[in-house]
Amino acid sequence: MDNFEFYNPTRIIFGKDTIGSLASLVPEGTRILLLYGGGSVKTNGVYDQVRTALAGRELAEFSGVEANPSYETCMAAVETIRQERAGFILALGGGSVFDAAKFIAAAARYSGGDPWKICVDRKPLKAALPWGGVLTLPATASEMNSGSVISRTSTREKLFFFDPLVFPIFSILDPQATYGLPSRQTANGVIDAFVHVTERYLTFPNESFLVDRLAESILGTLMELGPKVLLAPRDYPIRANLMWAATLAHNGLLDAGMPQDWASHMIGHELTALYGVDHARSLAVVLPALLRHQIVHKREKLVQFGQQILGIREGSAERRSEGVVEGIENFFRAMGAGTRLSDYGIPASDCRTIAERAVLHQGVLGERKDLDAAAVEEILRLAARP
Amino acid sequence: MDNFEFYNPTRIIFGKDTIGSLASLVPEGTRILLLYGGGSVKTNGVYDQVRTALAGRELAEFSGVEANPSYETCMAAVETIRQERAGFILALGGGSVFDAAKFIAAAARYSGGDPWKICVDRKPLKAALPWGGVLTLPATASEMNSGSVISRTSTREKLFFFDPLVFPIFSILDPQATYGLPSRQTANGVIDAFVHVTERYLTFPNESFLVDRLAESILGTLMELGPKVLLAPRDYPIRANLMWAATLAHNGLLDAGMPQDWASHMIGHELTALYGVDHARSLAVVLPALLRHQIVHKREKLVQFGQQILGIREGSAERRSEGVVEGIENFFRAMGAGTRLSDYGIPASDCRTIAERAVLHQGVLGERKDLDAAAVEEILRLAARP
């Protein structure tokens, strides 16, 4: 169990009909920038609830934040903040809008030159605008962490930063706001949350007995309720448990004392940057291949996964760990996600290029920091099999 | 799954040799009041490590905080703060010192008359001194919550308050600081943490599937490692997992969406106030009796406890829930705690008086708010059996 620091000052307001509490959460005396994406907040009722809750307050708007939010869009929002003299950002949407809010909050107060350096240099921020959000898509836990992933369209880069100054002041999570999500987005959210947990859990044992149990709690909940929510999208308890699971999957709780991998995310980011693959689906491709490549190094935790979550208690450790990888791949498929490069039209001949970019951007990968470009290419070739 | 709010801004620094980080955590430019108890921090090395880390800083001291910290002692510390013009409290010790720090922090900035009203009226505070701590006894989670229990010696009252202004700014948790604890205190900490979880978990199902799993993770860890730590008090992974388990047992994580009982604590407080029973041991007496009294109302969660934690998967629900209560009582005994009133010399003839005081101080009890003085007396009579 490694040393750790835990700090998470975000206030969560969770439950039915909680959006009305906005009036007491958003600061008075400053203009609020409503930040959202393509308009789904207008069809799911969230936008109207927010306008009602904030009636009489000075509001400005910036819409059009895309999936995998771009530096270019964020900088346009920064310009709106300057013109409108907004002092608080209210993000309405999913992880993309929340990640964008963080970059915008940092960039609006950045004094170090080109704000893209926030992602490139990852130096501690000196200031950021305060912000909060109303979440409509559980997936990234951006609603309760200090991390953000931003894409630069012109260079096809997808980079991240994190800083304690960009924790949301508050996030409102009303599971009812997720009832109308397209099933593809619901499924993506479940997969994303699942892989946030495996990035910590599927490494090697380090006597973090308790945090292992917490991770298994979240993994088990996602595997049990994920397929169910596709059949019962308006079931409140299922939606509520999945929403809170996605937040806890990546709010720092599972970092406590645990080794961390993140290779699936880093390789997956390249699939998104180069081919526009949904973030979650890039993970559904990379994780099974990574686990097969690292099956010896990750064996102990794979066997533990099998025993604690899938009830696999018999057979050799080799066979049991193979069964777990198959189980995870089947789970992704049950969530409707293809798990091979070919499912997304990505040719096997691109494996080397993707691998080299991943290592160029993020360095050698994995919990042992030993996955170089050659290893990443081998992983991708496993994902290129039919 | 009920609506909930989660907010916990305390920074946790956890792990080996972390006390040296104090210098960067404690604010500069103000005098620090070191607050501690009977001197165990001087024998376990914590006091010296703190003085070394804060060399050159302006320090004042107040020692003598007792188990079940008293209003009278706290008010003496407030007087020291005024005389020394201290602007920050640094608590060194266990839950008693941490609870005292909260009351002192609130009382030092209280403008509403007699500070005992903080516990009696429980009105939102307007201000409190900032404070942090170095934890030496995992048990109460006072290191990461906003609650405090204070006893008034003159009236034999034991009352609590909680307020967001008394969250510690930071808490340092070095499991090595717990190596030298007397086994009685170690055991008390495990029992206290265990009952913090059961106060939420052993109520009735409300579709909080995920938080149920998290609660089971903590309960299972405590039941597995609790007896082991008594045999291996210098085993770092065991100490570390137990320390973090005690924090998570009562830092708000398990409040999320769950019903809550707290009758065991409220009845137990009277046993402490009237007879000086250790807090944890008061819980070891009351909880098994409460569960037997409420065995029908709590049956579903007791059966779930048996299945998820004790592996009890056969037999009638009635027999399985009885087996769980026996299992919990055996666990307390394995931790060295007596589970009957007679173990602490409390006569059965006092049951009515204790019950009346509990309901007088806290109102009707339990997750259904239906345990009146007559019901509490019945519970205590179950604890009075040989």
pLDDT digits over B347-363, tens only?
Answer: 999 999 999 999 988 89
Confidence of residue A262 (pLDDT cuts 50, 70, 90): very high
**The dihedral of CA A112, A114, A118, A120: what is its sign?**
negative
Closest of B361, B143, B116, B144 to residue B263, by C-alpha: B361
Distance, in Å, from the CA atom of B341 to the CA atom of B380, rounded to the nearest integer, reads: 8
Q: Flag if B257 and A245 touch (Cβ within 8 Å).
A: no
Contact B325, B288 (CB under 8 A): yes
Alpha carbon B21 to chain centroid distance?
26
Q: Please name the residue of chain A whose CA is at the shortest distance from the CA of residue B215.
A: A214
Note the pLDDT tens digit of each residue in B127-151.
999 999 999 999 999 999 999 999 9
Distance, in Å, from the CA atom of B30 to the CA atom of B25, rounded to the nearest integer, reads: 13
Note the pLDDT tens digit of each residue in B309-337.
999 999 999 999 999 999 999 999 999 99
Q: Flag if A14 and B7 touch (Cβ within 8 Å).
A: no
Q: Flag if A8 and B3 touch (Cβ within 8 Å).
A: no
Q: Flag if B11 and A13 touch (Cβ within 8 Å).
A: no
Distance, in Å, from the CA atom of B335 to the CA atom of B38, rounded to the nearest integer, reads: 24
Distance, in Å, from the CA atom of B189 to the CA atom of B376, rounded to the nearest integer, reads: 25
DSSP class of residue B78 equals H
Largest CA distance in chain B: 66
Give me the residues of B, 217-246, that contact A with CB < 8 A. 217-218, 220-221, 224-225, 236-237, 240-241, 244-245
Contact A85, A94 (CB under 8 A): no
Note the pLDDT tens digit of each residue in B250-309.
999 999 999 999 999 999 999 998 999 999 999 999 999 999 999 999 999 999 999 999
Statement: residue A38 has pLDDT above 90: no
Radius of gyration of chain B (CA): 20
CA distance B17 to chain A (A): 9
Note the pLDDT tens digit of each residue in A88-139.
999 999 999 999 999 999 999 999 999 999 999 999 999 999 999 999 999 9
Note the pLDDT tens digit of each residue in B46-64.
999 999 999 999 999 999 9
Q: 3-state class of A62 per DSSP? A: strand
In three state form, how does the secondary structure of A294-335 look?
Answer: CCCCCHHHHHHHHHHHHCCCCCCHHHHHHHHHHHHHHHHHHC
Percent of chain B whose predicted confidence (pLDDT) is above 90:
94
Q: 3-state class of B151 per DSSP? A: strand
What chain A holds in terms of domains, given with CATH numbers, is 11-177 (3.40.50.1970), 183-383 (1.20.1090.10)
Note the pLDDT tens digit of each residue in A193-246.
999 999 999 999 999 999 999 999 999 999 999 999 999 999 999 999 999 999
**The dihedral of CA B287, B289, B291, B297: what is its sign?**
negative
**Buried b or exposed e, range B9-36, using 16+ CB within 10 angstroms:** bbbbbbbeebbebbeeebeeeeebbbbb
Residue B257's pLDDT is: 95
Residue B342's pLDDT is: 97
**Residue appearing with tokens 């499991």:** B175
Radius of gyration of chain A (CA): 20
Q: Where are the alpha helices (DSSP H) in B108-172?
A: 117-121
A3 touches chain B (CB under 8 A): yes
Q: For B5, which of A11, A209, A253 is closest by C-beta distance? A: A11
Residue B157's pLDDT is: 83
Statement: residue A159 has pLDDT above 90: no
A307 touches chain B (CB under 8 A): no
Closest of A91, A283, A104, A326 to residue A189, by C-alpha: A283
The token duo for B307 is: 């299945």
Tell me which of A1, A197, A224 to substitute to probe the interface with B (most B C-beta atoms closer than 10 Å). A1
The token duo for B36 is: 């501690």
Arithmetic mean of pLDDT, B20-31: 95
B205 touches chain A (CB under 8 A): no
Contact A242, A214 (CB under 8 A): no
Distance, in Å, from the CA atom of B93 to the CA atom of B39, rounded to the nearest integer, reads: 9
B207 touches chain A (CB under 8 A): yes
**The dihedral of CA A158, A162, A166, A172: what is its sign?**
positive
Closest of B193, B252, B8, B244 to residue A256, by C-alpha: B244
**Which residues on chain A are in Cβ contact (under 8 Å) with B8?**
8-9
Q: Please name the residue of chain A whose CA is at the shortest distance from the CA of residue B243.
A: A210
Residue A228's pLDDT is: 98
Statement: residue B27 has pLDDT above 90: yes
pTM score, two decimals? 0.96
Tell me which of A2, A3, A221 to substitute to probe the interface with B (most B C-beta atoms closer than 10 Å). A3
Give the helix/strand (H/E) hosting A150: strand A147-152
Q: Please name the residue of chain B whose CA is at the shortest distance from the CA of residue A170.
A: B7
Q: Flag if A1 and B224 touch (Cβ within 8 Å).
A: no
**Which residues on chain B are in Cβ contact (under 8 Å) with A1?**
15, 236-237, 240-241, 244
How far is residue B213 from each of residues A159, A252, A327, measured CA to CA in Å?
34, 18, 21
Q: Please name the residue of chain B whose CA is at the shortest distance from the CA of residue A255.
A: B14
Sort strands B31-35 and B86-93 into parallel, antiparallel or unpaired. Answer: parallel
Q: Flag if A209 and B4 touch (Cβ within 8 Å).
A: no
Closest of B202, B355, B200, B195 to residue B283, by C-alpha: B195
- How many Cβ pairs within 8 Å bridge chains A and B? 119
Statement: residue B223 has pLDDT above 90: yes
Q: Flag if B256 and A14 touch (Cβ within 8 Å).
A: yes
Burial class of residue B162 in the structure, from the number of CB atoms within 10 Å of its CB (0-12 exposed, 13-18 middle, 19+ buried): middle
Note the pLDDT tens digit of each residue in A358-380.
998 889 999 999 999 999 999 99
Statement: residue B155 has pLDDT above 90: no
Note the pLDDT tens digit of each residue in B193-216.
999 999 999 999 999 999 999 999
Q: 3-state class of A169 per DSSP? A: coil
A204 touches chain B (CB under 8 A): no
How far is residue B59 from each of residues A164, B20, B90, B105, measured CA to CA in Å?
29, 16, 10, 16
Residue B181's pLDDT is: 95
Statement: residue B153 has pLDDT above 90: no
CA angle, B70 as apex, B65 and B75 as ends, to 5°?
85
Tell me which of A169, A170, A208, A217 to substitute to probe the interface with B (most B C-beta atoms closer than 10 Å). A217
Q: For B14, which of A6, A14, A236 is closest by C-beta distance? A: A6
B9 touches chain A (CB under 8 A): yes
| Residue A252 backbone zone (phi > 0: left; psi -120 to 50: alpha; other: beta) | left
Q: Flag if A209 and B225 touch (Cβ within 8 Å).
A: yes
Across-strand partners of A11? Answer: A170
Q: 3-state class of B170 per DSSP? A: strand
**Which residues on chain B are in Cβ contact (under 8 Å) with A210?**
217-218, 221, 241, 244-245, 248
What ipTM was reported for this prediction? 0.95
Q: For B237, which of A1, A6, A15 is closest by C-beta distance? A: A1
A112 touches chain B (CB under 8 A): no
Q: Flag if A9 and B6 touch (Cβ within 8 Å).
A: no
**Which residues on chain A are in Cβ contact (under 8 Å) with B236?**
1
Range scoring the smallest mean pLDDT among A77-86, A300-309, B34-43, B308-317:
B34-43
The token duo for A132 is: 């909060």
For chain A, give the mean pLDDT: 96
